[in-house]
């Protein structure tokens, strides 16, 4: 049975290590970071803080309380407490080999030790470790807290179960683990990136293009396709209805032409100066932290756009959100023993900082979000879960009436109750009340009607009998409750009294 991961040790507080820390903290995991470099803790906390806005924007799903961040210069102290270790030292074989061996002396025998190496062979760097069967590669991409890809591979001594467990852990923190089937230097993604990088260096060295022109050639063209379709599927489309075969027949001969130079050019002082000067001009007016936040905002927008299509990185985000919604409701499901003599208590949240408007209160769109989350909690409670959705059925909201009663400030805990008012085989009518958790002040109400649909056919259809059975039992109990005060309230300005 895989070890439950509550604490992660991050060895090395550079850009990658700090990115791992930000991702894990945001998922409610405690993180212990260790580094002996001067200024390491300051840089770590800056990156974690700078990542917070993007992480808050990326997902609308309710989140767990953030984990705690601890920093220490004592390696043994850090890894001895951990349920998972992620090493992020500089890309030097001798350094990683010695460091991993030292980590293995202090980590518990069943604790996975993953290296963020971007190209070294795991067989070599695990060679001196105690219990090398749990040592593997978990190669992420910057920024680690946003980009979902992590390449996973083991060495000759790595046990396959630990690879599976590592992939399961990475999935649980919203990542897309890609198992590298053969041990090879550079793995998959970095080998592809290096080929493009060599060509870019050649073009700058030969005076063909500037750094900005090269980046524009990617940004406005293939880069947009790569974000969701990659290279191979893109070229498959380039072949028209005959696909890849026609594409290779038509463009394959060009592979014999001397268009590319896969051997890297010599890094002369002149080439280095051109690269530095070019990128400094591109970054003019932006600090590194400014560029990080610009990059993060762009990535969030792309992934959220792809989420609506349930495709590529958007699919990873959507699946992760569904899991977070389930966690937020405690994955509570109906049982015969439940007390139905009062409205259901299925959803809790708090007012997050990014929910606040210019008046320092929760903005009105977030009231709808909280009520929507409460509706999702009701659906999961009666059995309309991810498996039900995968079979092509769901409930869609067709009408909502919200009454905003009191304002609520940042960090205030919220709870929502739900009362069923009516149903048939296709519709559910229910009523939410949002309260301030601390004093039970009523903040807002929402009356909603939802319609059961066949998502593939795109039309309404009867809900499954097992769902209706649970709903009918809840409704039978809730009919005995008083009707909500604002039920079916009409919005109007009363006419003047005569």
Q: Is the pLDDT of residue 2 over 90?
A: no
Task: Give pLDDT, residue 37.
Answer: 94
Pick from 121, 154, 187: which residue ends a domain? Answer: 187
Last residue of a domain, one of 284, 311, 341: 284
Residues 161, 47: one domain?
Answer: yes
Number of domains in the chain: 3
**pTM summary value:** 0.75
Q: Is residue 444 part of a domain?
A: yes
Tell whether the model's pLDDT for residue 332 goes beyond 80. Answer: no
- Are 183 and 227 found together in one domain? no
Residues 408 and 373 in one domain: yes
Is the same domain home to 40 and 163? yes
Residue 419, in any domain of the structure:
yes
Q: Which CATH number is 456's domain given?
A: 3.10.129.10
Confidence of residue 118 (pLDDT cuts 50, 70, 90): very high
Say yes or no: 357 and 397 in one domain.
yes
Does any domain span residue 304? no
User: Higher model confidence: residue 284 or residue 461?
Assistant: 461
CB 373 within 8 A of CB 328: yes
pLDDT tens-digit profile of 410-429? Answer: 889 999 999 999 999 999 99
Residue 426 belongs to a domain: yes
Instruction: Provide, rounded to the nearest whole percent, the portion of the chain with pLDDT above 70.
Output: 98
Please tell me whether residues 75 and 119 are part of one structural domain. Answer: yes
Crossing angle for the helix pair 288-307 and 312-328, nearest 10 degrees?
80
Asked, for residue 297, whether it belongs to a domain, the answer is no
Q: What pLDDT sits at residue 128?
A: 97
Is 32 strand, coil or helix? Answer: strand
Distance CA 485, CA 423 (A): 20
Average pLDDT value over all residues in the chain: 91
Q: How far apart are CA 35 and CA 162, in angstroms?
A: 26
pLDDT at position 462 is 96
Determine, yes or no, domain membership for 321.
no
Q: Which structural domain range is residue 167 located in?
A: 7-187
Residue 331, pLDDT above cutoff 60: no
* CA–CA gap between residue 183 and residue 123 (Å, rounded): 8
- Whether residues 237 and 340 fall in one domain: no
Q: Are residues 151 and 208 in the same domain?
A: no
* One domain, residues 252 and 270: yes
Which CATH number characterizes residue 198's domain? Answer: 1.10.1040.10
Task: Label residue 325 by pLDDT band (50, 70, 90).
Answer: low
Q: Are residues 37 and 175 in the same domain?
A: yes
Residue 368 lies in a domain: yes
The residue-averaged pLDDT of 277-305 equals 86
pLDDT at residue number 455:
93
- Residue by residue, DSSP assigns 332-370 as ----TTS--SS-EEEEEEE--GGGB-TTSSB-HHHHHHH
Nearest Cα to Cα of residue 488 among 428, 399, 423, 378: 399
90-109 confidence digits (pLDDT tens):
999 999 999 999 999 999 99
- The closest of 16, 52, 55, 24 to 300, measured between CA atoms, is 55
Give per-residue pLDDT as tens, 203-233.
999 999 999 999 999 998 898 888 888 888 8
- Which letter, b or e, does each residue of 285-323 get, where b requires 16 or more Cβ atoms within 10 Å of its Cβ? eeeeeeebbeebeebbebbbebbeeeebbbbbbbbbbbe
CA dist 467 to 83, 395, 427, 429, 481, Å?
39, 11, 12, 15, 22
Q: Give the pLDDT mean for 339-343.
A: 93
Does one domain contain both 201 and 174?
no
Is 305 part of any domain?
A: no
Chain centroid, CA 410 distance in Å: 24
Domain boundary among 187, 214, 248: 187
Q: What distance in Å separates the CA atoms of residue 431 and residue 212, rounded to the nearest whole number?
A: 56
- Do 273 and 362 belong to one domain? no
Say how many Å lie between the first and final Cα of the chain, rounded: 77
């Amino acid at each position: 049975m895989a070890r439950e991961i509550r604490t992660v040790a991050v060895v090395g507080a550079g850009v990658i290590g700090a990115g791992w820390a930000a991702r894990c903290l945001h998922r409610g995991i405690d993180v212990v970071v260790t580094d002996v470099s001067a200024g390491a803790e300051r840089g770590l906390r800056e990156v974690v803080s700078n990542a917070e806005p993007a992480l808050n924007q990326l997902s609308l799903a309710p989140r767990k309380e953030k984990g705690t961040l601890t920093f220490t210069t004592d390696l043994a102290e850090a890894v001895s407490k951990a349920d998972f270790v992620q090493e992020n030292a500089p890309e030097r074989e001798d350094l990683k080999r010695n460091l991993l061996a030292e980590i293995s002396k202090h980590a518990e025998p069943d604790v996975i030790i993953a290296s963020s190496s971007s190209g070294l062979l795991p067989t070599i760097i695990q060679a001196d470790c105690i219990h090398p069967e749990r040592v593997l590669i978990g190669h992420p991409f910057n920024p680690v807290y946003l980009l979902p890809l992590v390449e996973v591979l083991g060495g000759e001594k790595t046990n396959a179960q630990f690879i599976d467990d590592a992939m399961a852990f990475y999935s649980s923190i919203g990542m897309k683990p890609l198992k590298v089937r053969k041990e090879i230097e550079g793995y998959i993604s970095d080998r592809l990136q290096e080929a493009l990088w060599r060509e870019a260096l050649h073009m700058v060295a030969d005076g063909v293009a500037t750094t900005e022109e090269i980046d524009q050639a990617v940004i406005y063209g293939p880069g947009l396709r790569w974000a969701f379709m990659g290279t191979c599927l893109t070229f498959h489309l380039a072949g028209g209805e005959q696909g890849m075969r026609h594409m290779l027949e038509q463009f394959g001969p060009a592979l014999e032409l001397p268009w590319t130079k896969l051997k890297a050019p010599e890094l002369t002082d002149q080439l280095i100066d051109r690269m530095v000067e070019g990128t400094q001009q591109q970054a003019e007016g932006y600090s590194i932290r400014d560029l990080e936040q610009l990059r993060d905002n762009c990535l969030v927008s792309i992934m959220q756009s792809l989420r609506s299509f349930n495709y590529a990185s958007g699919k990873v985000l959507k699946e992760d959100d569904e899991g977070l919604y389930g966690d937020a409701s405690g994955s509570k499901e109906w049982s015969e023993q439940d007390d139905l003599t009062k409205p259901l208590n299925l959803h809790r949240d708090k007012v997050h900082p990014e929910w606040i408007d210019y008046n320092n209160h929760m903005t009105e769109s977030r009231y709808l979000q909280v009520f929507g989350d409460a509706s999702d909690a009701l659906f999961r409670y009666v059995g309309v879960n991810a498996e039900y959705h995968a079979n092509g059925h769901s409930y869609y909201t067709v009408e909502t009436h919200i009454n905003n009663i009191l304002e609520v400030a940042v960090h205030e805990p919220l709870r929502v109750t739900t009362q069923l008012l009516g149903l048939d085989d296709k519709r559910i009518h229910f009523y939410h009340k949002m309260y301030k958790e601390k004093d039970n002040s009523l903040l807002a109400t929402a009356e909603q009607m939802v319609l059961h649909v066949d998502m593939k056919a795109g039309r309404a259809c009867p809900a499954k009998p097992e769902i209706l059975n649970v709903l009918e039992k809840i409704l039978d109990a809730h009919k005995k409750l008083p009707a909500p005060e604002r039920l079916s309230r009409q919005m109007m300005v009363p006419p003047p009294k005569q």
